[in-house]
Amino acid sequence: MPNQAVLLELTQPVAPEIIEQAMTHLVEHHDALRLRYRETDGVWTQEIGADCSPSFFREDDIENLAALQASLHLTEGPILRAAYLRPRPS
């Protein structure tokens, strides 16, 4: 299943907890970011997931970017993933 990734580089340090808090508020406010999709007998339906768990946010190494993208799931969620990626060691 294709998905879209956007990599943003910070110009100033930001604590990962601040990003997680902002993303939590965003997902709580926008129901579409909690959507789940199901196919039954060839018919797709959507429902809004009840929870807004922080499972959509991770702090990780940039080497794991492909795994982060692969962890998106239309039926179980999340359909959105935000990550604070630590740079490669010099």
In the three-class reduction of DSSP (H, G, I as helix; E, B as strand; rest coil), residue 76 is classed as: coil
Q: Which of 5, 89, 14 is nearest to 59 (CA)?
A: 14
Q: What's the mean pLDDT when you consider all of the chain?
A: 83
Average pLDDT along the chain, 90 residues, taken 10 residues at a time:
77 90 89 89 90 74 82 80 80
Nearest in space to 61 (alpha carbons), one of 89, 23, 19? 89
Can you give the pTM of this predicted structure?
0.73
Distance of CA 14 to the CA centre of its chain: 18
pLDDT score, position 8 = 87
- Closest C-alpha among 36, 83, 31 to residue 55: 83
Q: Report the C-alpha gap between 27 and 67 in whole angstroms.
A: 22
Residue 32: DSSP 8-state: G
